[in-house]
Structure 1
Amino acid sequence: MKRIATLKNPILNYRWGSKTFIPKLIGLSGSRIQPMAEIWMGAHPKACSRVVSGPGKKEISLIELIQKAPQRILGKEVQEGFVGRLPFLFKILAVGQPLSIQAHPNQKQARQGYARENKLKIGLEDRERNYPDDHHKPEIICSLGSFWTLIGFRPWSETIGLLKKYGFKKLAKEFGSEHSRSEPRARRSFFKYLIHLEKEQQRALVHKAVVQAASLKDRERTAQWVMKLARMYPDDIMAVAPLFLNLVHLKAGEAVYVAPGELHAYLKGNAVELMANSDNSLRGGLTPKHVDASELLKIVSFAGRPIQVLRPKAGKTREKIYSTPAEEFQLSAIQVQSERPFVGYTENRVALLICLRGDARITTGANRTAIFLSRGRAVVIPAEVGRYRIQGRAHIYKATIP
């Protein structure tokens, strides 16, 4: 397939979604709109994009298209390196309410967990299924405005200080002494203690934190988020997660990389998300969904790290690239100006593009028929296309393989 094609992408409705951002992005209006949480762009069996192409506007799932011509769509290296599978999943997120505290497995953990649950005959749609596939799930989240997230453990001394400030002096004394042994061990002991508390104990501790937060909310974001989470989950100890996880605020265009095993929760805002093509998530709280505390403890990394806010760097074709260690994906931003068209090259790798602002038209050397790319529309550029040209005035995000 040596031509660019439009994508029709599934929209996932979750209660934490927004009634405004995605509907506005795709041009929907009305009073009966349900919260829209995610747009999925990719070839995941749970929610697969459909490819629309040709004079008759025929549709085919992206999975099926890749299966018919894997090398032409993916590119030779991608086909061989990822066994004929699109290695990434591209999303638009509209976070109206906080998502669950969660972490994703590494590759070894995913393969072992998937095989184990298959052996136990736990259905893929079963509520208690932890591993619906056998892939790891590193990801990058890029803010489209103001975006709040919890990610990774705070320095242990910082956590101990916050525990004291928020009324947990006994816990600070009990777990603070473990710092002399090792920070990861101290964090693990503390988190294990919290996640196994009885509901009555959780409620009492959350209430204690809220009382202290009320006197701090006018000057501390941490206090504000403890109070917000506690209002939604008064008997869930993970409402105090801002005391032990880094609270990060991203401005438009800023991003963070989430490594396998890194505990995190997206709290508020709209974003582009790009990840390995997996749906493996183990949850720890702030959710009505299944929580497997014992399994979560096996996959979480308790080695804290300084949070690095990522900003894109200019590439050789004027696109701005976000650098991560991931082998499966690369995110970039393309700013197209009317007086300066953008010329790109697939470099024998498939790419997905979505327009978030403006209007543009894409043409290729082999096919001068233009594909129009307006706000909310996405396209797939097969590897064999080679050179392509974007004209107009638009802000576009691109997902490909590094």
Structure 2
Amino acid sequence: LSLEDYITADPEGTLGEDTLVGHGPALPYLLKLIAPMRPLSLQVHPSKAQAQAGFDTEEEAGIPLDSPDRNYRDRNAKPELVYAITSFEALVGFRAPRRIAEVMRGLRTPLSDRLRRMVLREGVRAAFTYLISPETCPSGDRVASLVEACAERDPEKSPSRRADAAVVSLAAHYPGDASVLTPLLMNPVSLRPGEALYIPDGTVHAYRSGVGVEIMASSDNVLRAGLTEKHIDVPELLRVVRADAAPPMRIAPERVSASTSVYYAPVEDFELSVVQLSDANAWDRQRSEGPRTVVCMEGAVQVYAGGGALQLNKGQAVFIGANEGEASLRGFGKVVIAAVP
């Protein structure tokens, strides 16, 4: 029995009245464990209004939901949060134009000089559009020349050694793709274990490496610009992307008890709690009462809810419905809990 079928059989009991009224008869979040073996695609997620309009347009065009050329597979937005289990590397949003110009200074290739002038005179959107659009993107030779310049730049003198390293790394995985140069325009992000990053709609991003827990609104709407073999729709991505300079949104945890920290994202679809347990004899009462997913990340814990207890070992998970009331935990280990605010 799939989780979807389990919820469908009793949506009011499993989701609870508040979730059912606010989000409809389906779980409003998706929970993933991600560990990219190579950098994931350069992508953007639409807002709810954009998703609704895009879905309706593709429905009217008769594009099947399972078509590889489909952009909008539902009417939902897809804000997301990633919680780092190991060191986690990402690219998120755009730098300020003057910082981009500083990063490119000294590379001394025709392409870097052109991008630098374009950013200062026309803005970041113009340079980003030039790089990713099939009609204007630079040739493989020009891309390779700029990648080589990044590789050869002295790290001690580089204005952004992380940008140089990211360009070289992406080029090793996607040679010839002009999108490998976007780290020169974007903010590099390095998360340490326990840190979290929030990605709002319209924010261009790419996850490069690491292991993390990813929680997001229940949607499969992804617009891709490059670094992938999947469907790419540059015009639609450019219509949705926010090109203003903005720092990455790190979410600091709020300590709600001696054992539990909660990462509150500015959305109504999900929240993520991290619980560290160190007593096998005392039950740790959790405050969430709606639909929850508990994943054991370390050690072994017991979960008590709905009048029964279940042991979770590392790598195992359990879904707790709203009709099972509060949950309590005990054991030695760490769990993450996905819930609806």
The farther-off stretch of 297-306 and 208-217 is: 208-217
> Deviation at 1:304?
2.1
- For residues 106-159 of structure 1, the C-alpha deviation after alignment (integer angstroms, 9 at most, x for no partner) is 001111111111111111121211111111100001110110000011111111
Aligned mates of 1:285, 1:101 — CA distance in 2: 5
RMSD, aligned α-carbons: 1.7
Deviations 1:366-386 (A, max 9, x none): 52x420111000001111222
Q: Are positions 1:149 and 2:93 aligned together?
A: no
User: Partner letter of residue 115 of structure 2?
Assistant: L
| Alpha carbons 2:259, 2:277 under 8 Å: kept | no
Question: What corresponds to 1:253 in structure 2?
Answer: 194
Give the equivalent residue in structure 2 for 1:66. Answer: 7
Aligned residues: 333
Is the alpha carbon distance of 1:345 and 1:274 closer, same or farther for their aligned partners in structure 2, counting shifts above 3 Å? same
Question: Is 1:397 equivalent to 2:336 in the alignment?
Answer: yes
The answer on whether the counterparts of 1:253 and 1:311 sit within 8 Å (CA) in structure 2 is no
Q: Deviations over 1:246-285 (max 9, x none)?
A: 1100000101100011000000010000000001101000
Say which SS state the counterpart of residue 361 (structure 1) adopts: strand
**What CA distance in whole angstroms lies between the structure 2 residues aligned with 1:89 and 1:135?**
12
Letter in 1 for 2:51: A
| Residue of structure 1 in register with 2:132 after alignment | 195
Alignment of 1:279-358 (within 5 A): 279-316=220-257, 318-338=259-279, 340-347=282-289, 349-358=290-299
Tell me by how many angstroms 1:235 deviates. Answer: 1.4
TM (norm. structure 1) is 0.79
Secondary structure, in 3 states, of the residue corresponding to 1:201? Answer: coil
Change (3 A) 1:202 1:332: farther
- 2:301 is matched with which residue? 360
Deviations 1:186-225 (A, max 9, x none): 1222211111255882313321222211223644122111
**Matched position secondary structure for 1:295:** helix
Bigger mean CA offset, 377-386 vs 167-176: 167-176
SS at match of 2:198: strand
Partner of 1:18: none
Aligned partner of 1:79 in structure 2 is: 20
Question: Residue 370 of structure 1: which of 299, 309, 312 is its match?
Answer: 309
Quick check: 1:144–1:252 contact (8 Å CA) kept in 2? yes
2:207 paired with 1:207: no
Partner of 1:172: 116
Distance 1:311 1:217 in 2: 34
- Alpha-carbon spacing, 1:281–1:291, altered in 2? closer, same or farther (3 Å): same
**Structure 2: which amino acid aligns with 1:173?**
R
Q: In the alignment, is the contact (CA less than 8 A) between 1:144 and 1:270 conserved in 2? A: yes
Is the 2:130–2:136 contact (alpha carbons within 8 Å) kept by the matching residues of 1?
Answer: no
Which aligned runs of 4 or more in structure 1 are off by greater than 6 angstroms?
none
Structure 1: 5+ residue stretches without partners? 1-59, 179-185
* Structure 2: runs of 5+ lacking an equivalent: none
